[in-house]
């Protein structure tokens, strides 16, 4: 089973940069998107043999997630409120989570909120992280979980080019890194780091200062699985050669 995740930084723009060809070339069983930046009805992009599921932000041109899959799910859930109740209501407005349920596992795509300049959204990010951890732990208690997406955190110093100068910048604060450590301590595995413990490969580069040309990047896009699924993981890769966004796709083979 091949799974791909890609923050496309605006799907309509990415389509203009060859998205459809790349989608078909990668031939994934699950192809997940983050930051689609769309409203319902703005783009009808379907592929033969795939079903698609979309979660749109209420704010136009912002956030949003999607999953294309070759496998019809038992159930589909948008957001976290269906499982967490009213406590998760505040997190339901930005189209950040889609969950597909299958007989043997849950499959999730997620776009984690950015702490933003001046860390003005860090407090909200911490609340979101706490809710999402409760969410995946509840699911994991029923059956194993696979989740992927732009997690907006470089977990360790190896996960970005310049850790010293970026310490306490959005995506590399002690608080954000600590929340991801909590996820890993709760029975989940960062698949790329498990298979490539010493490899420094990035999945996002700023559009400024020719960062991608110079490979001054961050690894903030992940596939995370329940610990008991890790023996089934055959490959976890970062496709730095694929252009079309400020992120590149990441993939998982089970």
Catalytic residue numbers read 111, 150
Where are any strands of DSSP class E within the chain? 2-7, 30-34, 51-55, 65-69, 75-78, 97-101, 106-111, 145-150, 188-190, 204-205, 217-218, 221-226, 235-238, 250-253
Sign of torsion, CA 42 32 114 201?
Answer: negative
Inter-residue contact 171 to 218 (CB < 8 Å): yes
d(CA 36, CA 23): 15
Cα–Cα dist 207/216, whole Å: 11
């Amino acid at each position: 089973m091949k799974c791909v995740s890609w923050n496309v930084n605006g799907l309509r723009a990415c389509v203009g940069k060859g998205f459809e060809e790349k989608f078909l070339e990668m031939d994934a069983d699950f192809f997940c998107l983050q930051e689609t930046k769309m409203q319902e009805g703005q783009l009808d992009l379907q592929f033969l043999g795939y079903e698609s599921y979309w979660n749109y932000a209420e704010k136009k041109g912002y956030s949003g997630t999607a999953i294309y899959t070759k496998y019809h799910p038992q159930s589909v859930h948008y957001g976290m409120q269906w499982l967490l109740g009213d406590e998760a209501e505040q997190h339901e407005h930005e189209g950040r989570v889609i969950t597909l349920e299958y007989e043997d596992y849950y499959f999730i795509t997620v776009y984690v909120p950015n702490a933003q300049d001046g860390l003005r959204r860090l407090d909200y990010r911490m609340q979101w992280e706490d809710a999402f951890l409760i969410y995946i732990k509840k699911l994991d208690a029923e059956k194993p979980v696979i989740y992927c997406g732009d997690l907006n955190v470089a977990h360790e110093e190896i996960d970005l080019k310049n850790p010293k100068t970026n310490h306490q910048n959005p995506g590399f604060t002690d608080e954000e890194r600590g929340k991801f450590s909590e996820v890993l301590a709760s029975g989940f595995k960062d698949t790329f780091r498990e298979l490539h413990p010493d490899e420094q490969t990035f999945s996002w580069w700023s559009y400024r200062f020719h960062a991608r040309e110079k490979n001054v990047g961050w690894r903030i896009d992940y596939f995370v699985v329940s610990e008991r699924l890790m023996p089934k993981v055959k490959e976890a890769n970062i496709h730095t050669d694929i252009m079309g966004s400020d992120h590149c796709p990441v993939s998982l083979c089970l």
